[in-house]
Structure 1
Amino acid sequence: MASAAFEEIVEDFEFLDDWEDRYRHVIELGKAMTGLDAALQVPATKVDGCASQVWLHPVIEGGVFRFEGDSDAMIVRGLIAVLRALYNDLPLAEVAAVDARAEFGRLGLNDHLSAQRSNGLRAMIERIRETAAAAA
């Protein structure tokens, strides 16, 4: 079961009929997200495999997974916001159980991202999963 924050995004998407509106909504989610401090935008937090610049900074406390992120591309920043809704506040042991591809499929995002964006999304998900597994 996805988090309440992710379910809210799913509900929002149900009211948006065309892909253009959904795309704009993802961008708005990214704009609303607090950016990652420039001091944390370093090689160690940079995600390889993304066409744009992407940084993910894990914050793990008390066995609970969270991350902050940022990108120089607005749509990618929105994808980070969606990933945060999907993964933040999960116990470390539950991160690997999330089927992000299926959850993004519920939003229709799998079918509407370019190949480069899809590769970048996979790289972000892989980084999240690896980080949580290493901390568990």
Structure 2
Amino acid sequence: MASSGMKKEIGTDHDALRFGINAGVKSDLLPVHPLQSTLQSETKFWTDKKKFGTEAIYGSAINIRKDFDTQILSRFQRPPGALPSSMLGYEALTGSLDDFGFEDYLNMPQDSDNFRQPDMHHGMEVRLGLSKGPICPSFN
């Protein structure tokens, strides 16, 4: 991926040191690693299999209800302020509460020395389009 300051031009020689080995239109469309595509296809397969099973047992209404709940809960966010959005309902619905990755405990902004408490009023103005800038300028 190119950084925000550098632009790729069509028809020029590829600079592997600046843009990476597989930079180009093809690499933007393909997954980063072959294992990633395998994981995505496996996840999609088991999700479809579970949907088929629940439809066979309970009918198609349960899958439609789950899809609506997923759409609603994936958009829910807490207003900017002291507490970040946890998306607990969405995680409970999708079953990802049990997944615990390194991003859950490493590099948390609250543990930083230069963390500033977010301004709720400015954050809502940015979200509504009344003002510009980051919602929470916590780092200098």
TM-score (norm 2): 0.23
The structure that is strand-richer by fraction is: 1
- The structure whose Rg is larger is 2
Which structure would you say has the larger RCO, counting Cα contacts within 8 Å and 6 or more residues apart? 1
